[in-house]
Structure 1
Amino acid sequence: MKNEKPFKPGSGFGMLAIAFLIFFGAIAGLVLMRSPYFGILFLVFFFMLPGFFVVQPNQSRVLIFFGEYRGTVKKNGFFWVNPFYAKKKISLRAHNFDSERVKVNDKLGNPILISVILVWQVEETYKAAFEVNDYTHFVRVQSDAAVRKLANTYAYDNFEDDSEITLRSGMEEVNHDLETELAERLAIAGIKVIEARIGYLAYAEEIASAMLQRQQATAIVAARYKIVEGAVGMV
């Protein structure tokens, strides 16, 4: 598997000066010497123009020469390369992705609504450009798959065992597992996960009211148990 490699382009300002010399030289030749051969210099001038490009902060250009990867330019500035090079722009900036709420069953089979908030950025431009067809779409699909897997791994809540890690009570552990899962899935596309966490979590509408009543009943039982326990302790 190939990896990203840096490419050192030529200075855009130096080549721009040469291009203007060629352009004005062609005009001078046609006007003063009236030779049609100077028209060739116009062709050279226009041939050079596609070679110029600008790289802004936290942007990159992947250079491709007739289907062959030649390197990546991450340095900011104004540059010139062989006009036959294709220059694919890939952003290195951080992206925020707030997924749609999906309905999925938790570990106990209860239908829940869940979404994920993901902060990510491209770290390896070669993989982002060539290992997947569309790395932004890849992020969306893998985020959906990861959150579904997470929901199936944990219960939304556990009324019988407060020590069990659940989606509602164990957010720190759950978010860590989500971040690890996404980092593994997105590594193939050269994408770094900066942060991943659950953005929305709730029971599905069809069972929400029943689960709320169950929570209230469990809270009442727990409160009565503590009252009885305290009374016994006083005796």
Structure 2
Amino acid sequence: MTTERVIKAKSGWAMLVVNVLIYLISVFGIVWGIIMLATADSAGIEPPVMANIITIGGFVLLFVAILISVGFIALQPGEAKVCLLFGNYIGTIRDSGFFWANPFYSRNLGEQGSDVETSVAALEELSKGSVTKLPAQSNAISTKISVRARTHNGERIKVNDKQGNPIEIATVVVWHVADTAKALFDVDNYLSYVAMQTETALRHVASIYAYDHMEDDDSSNTTITLRSNIEEVSASLREELGRRLSPAGVEVDDARLTHLAYAPEIAPAMLRRQQAEAIIAARKKIVEGAVSMVDMALSELSDGGVVEFDDDRKAAMASNLMVVLCGESEAQPVVNTSSL
């Protein structure tokens, strides 16, 4: 495993002044040497040795100036430059600004994956599974890497929850490169690695939790489910992603579910089950309220001495009140003009 080493680069402005001076001196030397050679040739005399030395020196200085020009680096905020010298990792420049470094530092890692600036559309196609690799025109990983926060919007995937029910689920992950050395050297392509590991982690987390409580009892209220415990599930997803992406030097800032639903083949059945649970819960409330009201009515009538009830009359009164209170349709009153 590779570990990032932060290094400092020389100021590019000072080297720019030196580079411009070398360019001027080289051009002056070349022009002066050519003039001396032309003068000697027109005069029909042997060219002086100094003219040859000045001309050759001018071309040498021009080559040195061009070589120095290759070493200039401009880094924006949120960018880092990984320095490789003939295959050896030297370090990473994380400061933003204009710098000069060894011109022999590598510009890319060769044809191993995609450029770090690959378009968002290509990454989305990769996450969909419609392509197995990124476009061939961007087949070199640049050593200039972005360390800004990025967002991976995963596609909807179908997976079985803990109880075996097929569900559709999707997530959005905010991440950034924390260790540039691991991102470039320990995995082949860290962008596709993030996309694939995000889907794998999402499938794993979805499979260890149930979509919803199957039984409406007190014990089920403490069980974590995908629908009822969004914060706990998101925390579990972040932890799983952090463990899976750490070998690539990637840190997860946030991970949230963006879509959660039953698969179409079982959605109607689950909807009927939820409707049935709602009806049962409503009936339960109605019955509890009706029993309380009947008990209160009988107690008030008996304690106040309004009506004397025996057991049969209490049963009849309770039955009539329960029918009136629990019935779905309005009860038709019957006035008793004889006896209770």
Q: Same fold (TM over 0.5)?
A: yes
2:150 pairs, out of 95, 101, 110, with: 95
CA contact (8 A) 1:52 1:81 kept: yes
Name the SS of the counterpart of 2:266 in structure 1: helix
Letter in 1 for 2:55: P
Q: Distance in 2 between matches of 1:223 and 1:165?
A: 24
Q: Distance in 1 between matches of 2:255 and 2:289?
A: 42
Structure 1 residue aligned with 2:299 = none
Structure 2 residue aligned with 1:220 = 279
What pairs with 1:67-216 in structure 2 (closer than 5 Å)? 67-87=87-107, 88-161=143-216, 162-163=220-221, 164-216=223-275
Q: Number of paired residues?
A: 235
Q: What stretches of structure 1 of length at least 5 have no aligned partner?
A: none
Using structure 2 for the length normalisation, give the TM-score. 0.67
CA contact (8 A) 2:158 2:169 kept: yes
Name the SS of the counterpart of 1:114 in structure 2: strand
Q: Distance in 2 between matches of 1:71 and 1:233?
A: 77
| Structure 1 stretch displaced more, 214-223 or 154-163 | 154-163
Q: CA deviation at 1:213?
A: 1.1
Q: CA deviation at 1:36?
A: 2.2
What are the Cα deviations for residues 63-93 of structure 1, in whole angstroms up to 9, with x where unaligned?
A: 0111111000010111111111124111111
CA contact (8 A) 1:62 1:125 kept: yes
| Structure 1 stretch displaced more, 30-39 or 13-22 | 30-39
Letter in 2 for 1:147: L
CA contact (8 A) 1:102 1:114 kept: yes
Over 6 Å off, 4+ runs = none
Root mean square deviation, CA, Å = 1.3
Name the SS of the counterpart of 2:106 in structure 1: strand
Decide which structure has the larger Cα Rg and report it: 2
Q: What stretches of structure 2 of length at least 5 have no aligned partner?
A: 35-53, 108-142, 296-340
Q: CA deviation at 1:224?
A: 0.6
Q: Which has the higher contact order (CA 8 A, sep 6+)?
A: 1
Q: Which has the higher strand share?
A: 1
Using structure 1 for the length normalisation, give the TM-score. 0.96
Query: Percent sequence identity over matched residues?
Result: 48
CA contact (8 A) 1:159 1:215 kept: no
Q: CA deviation at 1:228?
A: 1.4
Q: Distance in 2 between matches of 1:226 and 1:219?
A: 11
Q: CA deviation at 1:2?
A: 3.4
Structure 2 residue aligned with 1:31 = 31
Name the SS of the counterpart of 1:22 in structure 2: helix
CA contact (8 A) 2:242 2:251 kept: yes
CA contact (8 A) 2:212 2:228 kept: yes
Q: Distance in 2 between matches of 1:159 and 1:91?
A: 46
Q: Distance in 2 between matches of 1:233 and 1:92?
A: 65
What are the Cα deviations for residues 32-85 of structure 1, in whole angstroms up to 9, with x where unaligned?
A: 243321111111111112111111001100101111110000101111111111
CA contact (8 A) 2:179 2:250 kept: yes
